[in-house]
Chain A
Amino acid sequence: MSDKEPILKVKNLKTYFKTEDGIVKAVNGIDFDLCPGETLAIVGESGSGKSVTSLSIMRLLDTNGYIPEGEIIYKGKNVTKMSDSEMRSVRGNEIAMIFQEPMTALNPVFTIGEQITEAITLHMKMNEEDAKTRAVDLLRKVGIPEPEKRVDQYPHELSGGMRQRAMIAMALSCNPSILIADEPTTALDVTIQAQILELMKDLQKEFGMAIIFITHDLGVVAEMSDRAIVMYGGETVEQGDIVNIYKNPRHPYTWGLMNSIPRIDIDTERLWAIPGVVPSPLNFPKGCKFSNRCFLASDKCKTDHPGLETIENDHFSRCWHIDKLVEEVKKVRAGDK
């Protein structure tokens, strides 16, 4: 994919929030490129800064949020420096977004049709009638049965899966070149999840947009994406080609995440759980942010903050003990048995 010119470049992005307890460094130095038609996954536990990253790109941060450093370059223009009206013409039109909760992401007082039409007429010169026809087409495309009927229904009359499909239809209404999907399937049950993922893949083939796929479920990542960023505490801990990350994880956190989901291809007796919980954003350990939960952690990890090291081409990890991981993992596995 790297032969193409990237449409989105995020360089050393930092997003902070001013709060009463101090400054929350929700995102602290993220780098990635996104090429047309490519899918990038951002993975991490709750609170790792995935949503904040995507909201920074859309510039939809809460009023207490700000970007002290870093660049977000979309098609050669710095998003952080755009005027409000420029930004509005990017939102929805060039970069669209779908959200985690299909229940609440649609306005309850308007019909599905009205909401999709609003999105269409916002950026495309089209009259109401044509827009509505297009809305019906889109609903059909995202696999909603009887779109002519559904278009006049209210969100609450649709099931969760259908609502998410409607959200996708809305997001795709102006042919965006990037679609940010923030945990689009978390709130849905498993069979529906699979359908929605399938749908997104099909639509990507048809529309050719790039996708930033945010999830905490490494399982779906493998299916969906080309590359992945694993985030922890607002930082990239591992980044690279999906095959590498999946087959050859080089960060204990990634490894932990991977082994916390049931897999058929690897023979484990029981699931591995990362010990402890993500600390509050103001209470991360001084050195490696993951050190208090890491089974490899040494004294060095507790005091010194590791940098992002290149392991091989396009595969990075932020760990003092990259080499030890493979060995230790074997031991842990053996101990389990």
Chain B
Amino acid sequence: MNKEEMKRTLKKFVKNPSAMIGIGLLLFFVVIAIIAPYIAPPVIPNDADLEKIDNLLNDYKEENKDMILYYFQSYYDTVYGFVEMDYESVKELGQAVEKYKDKEITKDDLIAVIQPLSEYYIIDYSYYQKLTDVDKLDGFLDVINQYKEGTVSEEEFEKELKPFAENGFVTYKYFKEFDKKPEKYIKRIESEVSKKDDLEKSILNSITDEVNSYDQRMILAGKYKEKMENLKVSSDFLNDAKSFYKEVHKTYINSINFDPYLMPNVNMTTQPQPPSEDHPFGVSNSKDIYYGVIWGTRTGFKIGLVVVSIATVIGLFIGSVSAYFGGWIDEIMMRITDIFMSIPFMLSAMVLTTILGTGLDKVMIAMVVFGWMGTARLIRGNILQAKNEQYVIAAKALGVADWKIIIKHILPNTIFPVVVQASMRIGSMVITAASLSFLGVGAPQGYADWGSILTYARDWMLGGGDNPFQFWYTIVYPGTAMVLFVLAWNLVGDALRDIFDPKLRM
């Protein structure tokens, strides 16, 4: 496109009111999605000590300095205190493991080191358990032999087998199904038991890993301590304390896996609460609707863009391969497409999410798997049509190479309808996701998603008693957001069609 034409296109676009409304709405949603953390700040759970530090820093008074340092220390004690305390004994354990590997000490010596540590919960009890049980496997071999000779009954053998199975030394299935195929499982059990040394090695390795992780934590603890010391003598205490707090807070947030998309509970009742100052859109199922609607914008974009772009790429690939190669490849691919199309989407999505488990990503996978067929058909039809256009033959008659004909002459005439269709589908994907949520196979419980909020309204939709509109806010706010979102994408799709359609270029 040259400049002149760009101007013309732009002018046409600006003059088209529905295109402008679409773009405006879409921009609005984009802005909302971007500034969501500011207009609906997530309530991040905080450590008690950190919270106190935060409060004191916000309203800083010279005399509170010691208090602040005290809370920093207190936080250190809860998070790193035990690391420091246990470090020596854990180190000892590490050395003992090394010595045992080098056969400098006996197994009993090693177990003597591990035992107290596991009893004080410094290292996981299962290490001790497993390490002692490994040796019992020798005894178990005897039991197997006795069983083979027939001196031990099947019930007795199974009783012996059970603890090994429970500890994971022997595949649990062998225990459960032992009576069905004893001979087969005896062989397998024998072979597993014979790997005893490997087993022990892997247990020892896990212990070493555990010990090494203490080194890491000690380093962190050291750094923390150092910074605290610096802070004590800092000339610009307030600022240093603030930046230190930020840093600590960040590691704290990371360590608790906080997810802002999970809507927090704001009260204890499931009955919706009407809009109030704190909750401008009201409360539904203990969740703040305003928070959900704002963060739901992000979810909407996420679902729409990801699902549609992946589904479109798949559809483009399948459709263009079909159309280009034709023949039996086309036949097979289109029949597969037919099969996918003939399965009702809701049903298949539900089945798939039951197999995969719920969760937003699972829902999106289901939507991609059953969402590419439209694109495939569209692009195939377009390419088949374009293939026989006279300008394609004319280009061939000029000596243009095949690949160039596909890229320059066929694709531009076929891809734009796909782009237009895709942009319109982005909106409708959100509705699909919402219906899945409504059916309970969508976003996980409490996830900020318009569909989920609407789901909460299910029990209250008819209002209470004599007032059918009593709980209107449970539907109106998320519903409006959804409708506008779909509308925005549709209008943008229309506008794109106007721009892309060469026949409308004037």
Contacts and interface: CB of A to CB of B under 8 A. Distances in A.
Contacts of A242: none
Contacts of B506: 157
Interface stretch (A38-46, A99-107, A298-306): A99-107
Nearest to A122: B399
Contacts of A93: 399
Nearest to B412: A109
Interface string B370-391: 0000000000000000000111
B398 interface: yes
A242 B31 CA distance: 76
Contact of A118 (B400, B412, B413): B400
Interface in A164-197: 167, 170-171
Nearest to B500: A109
Contacts of B408: 110, 118
A293 interface: no
Given A152-B4, A156-B503, A107 B398 contact: no
Nearest to B411: A109
A92 B397 contact: yes
Given A88-B401, A92-B399, A122-B399, A106 B503 contact: no
B326 to A, nearest CB: 8
A99 B400 contact: no
Given A88-B401, A97-B397, A156 B502 contact: yes
A108 B396 contact: no
B395 interface: yes
A60 B505 CA distance: 31
B389 A91 contact: no
A25 interface: no
Nearest to B409: A107
A105 B398 contact: no
B284 to A, nearest CB: 50
B233 interface: no
Given A91-B399, A96-B398, A108 B390 contact: no
A122 B393 CA distance: 16
B6 interface: no
B396 A107 contact: no
A88 B400 CA distance: 7
B394 interface: yes
A60 B397 contact: yes
A90 interface: yes
A119 interface: yes
B2 interface: yes
Contact of B390 (A88, A104, A109, A152): A104
B356 to A, nearest CB: 42
A91 B391 contact: no
Interface string B456-485: 000000000000000000000000000000
B144 to A, nearest CB: 69
B394 A106 contact: yes
Given A152-B4, A154-B502, A156-B503, A105 B400 contact: no
B391 A107 contact: yes
Interface in A13-47: none
B397 A58 contact: yes
Interface in B402-433: 408-409, 412-413
A321 B413 CA distance: 54
B365 to A, nearest CB: 35
Contacts of A88: 399-401
B2 to A, nearest CB: 6
A108 B399 contact: no
A99 B505 CA distance: 25
A154 B505 contact: yes
Interface string A111-127: 00000001100110000
A119 B400 CA distance: 8
A89 interface: yes
Contacts of B4: 152
Given A107-B409, A156-B502, A170 B398 contact: yes
Given A99-B390, A104-B390, A92 B398 contact: yes
A129 B389 CA distance: 29
Contacts of A119: 398
B498 to A, nearest CB: 15
Contacts of B398: 91-92, 96, 118-119, 122, 170-171
A171 B395 CA distance: 10
B391 A106 contact: yes
Given A99-B390, A99-B393, A152-B2, A108 B413 contact: yes
Nearest to B394: A105
A107 B395 contact: yes
Interface string B196-234: 000000000000000000000000000000000000000
Nearest to A113: B2
Nearest to B389: A104
A96 B396 CA distance: 10
B401 to A, nearest CB: 6
Nearest to A103: B390
A106 B391 CA distance: 5
B469 to A, nearest CB: 53
Nearest to B402: A84
B32 to A, nearest CB: 36
Interface string A73-105: 000000000000000111111001101010011
Given A90-B399, A107-B409, A152-B2, A97 B503 contact: no
Given A99-B390, A105-B390, A122 B400 contact: yes
Given A152-B2, A154-B505, A97 B394 contact: yes
A123 B2 CA distance: 25
A91 B394 contact: no
A297 B10 CA distance: 68
A157 B396 CA distance: 24
Nearest to A90: B399
A91 B398 CA distance: 5
Nearest to B506: A157
B181 to A, nearest CB: 58
Contacts of A58: 397
A60 B390 contact: no
Interface in B487-506: 502-503, 505-506
Q: Which of B5, B399, B505 has the most CB of A within 10 A?
A: B399
Contacts of B394: 97, 99, 105-106, 167
Nearest to A108: B502
A170 B505 CA distance: 22
B453 to A, nearest CB: 44
Interface in B232-254: none
Given A88-B401, A91-B397, A92-B399, A105 B505 contact: no
Interface string A134-173: 0000000000000000001010110000000001001100
B6 to A, nearest CB: 12
Nearest to A101: B390
A88 B403 CA distance: 13
Contacts of B393: 60, 99, 105
B399 A89 contact: yes
A60 B396 contact: yes
Top-7 shortest CB links A-B: A92-B398, A91-B399, A92-B399, A97-B397, A107-B391, A104-B390, A88-B399
Given A97-B397, A107-B409, 13 more contacts: A60-B393, A88-B401, A91-B396, A105-B393, A105-B394, A107-B391, A110-B412, A118-B408, A119-B398, A122-B399, A156-B505, A167-B394, A170-B398
